[in-house]
Amino acid sequence: MALNNYKWKFELVSIAMSVLISLMVLLPIYANTRDYAFYFFNFCFVFLFLSFTRYIFLLRMTPFSHHQLTKLIFIFLAIPLIWLILDGVGQFQAHSDEIGLQSFVEHLPADKQVSIISYMKNQMLFFGSGSIVATIILALRLIVSIWRVKNTSKV
């Protein structure tokens, strides 16, 4: 009982830290752009990447480590989640190719525009592709964990 209580506390602290880090990654974009259309996707990519990477390596520390139904829900939600991530990356790439990211930073001096555009593009593609990979690996990790709990009582 006490161990489960610590797991819930760890989960809440981890989620709070993931939200805080996600907001910190978005802070330079928020401070330097106007009408940036990809805040939702960008926040989701960073949050999913951090959270799912934590689940991959620290699954034993989660409150649902022995709860099979929750793991199955995560596995089956991985497919639509990957489509959502691919849609977000595709929309960002399309906007970058067709309109350009300079439309978000036209009010800045030219040298600052280059650095902010580079930051937007690099972090969006890094966390977008990272969240896709983390989602796939987490689904596989959860399948292995379900098998282990069923057959050996280990996570």
Amino acid at the residue 146: I
Closest by alpha carbon to 32, among 111, 148, 128? Answer: 111
The C-alpha R_g of the chain, in whole angstroms, comes to: 18
pLDDT at 80: 96
- Return all residues near 155 (Cβ < 8 A) that are at least 6 apart: 59, 60, 65, 66, 145, 148, 149
Number of structural domains, the chain? 1
Q: What are the average pLDDT values for consecutive 10-residue runs of the chain, which has 155 residues? A: 82 96 96 92 97 95 91 95 96 93 90 93 96 97 92 77
pLDDT at 153: 73
The CA distance from 102 to 96, in Å, is 9
Q: Is-above-0.85 flag for pTM?
A: yes
Range of the domain at 72: 2-152
pLDDT at 1: 57
pLDDT at 5: 85
pLDDT at 129: 96
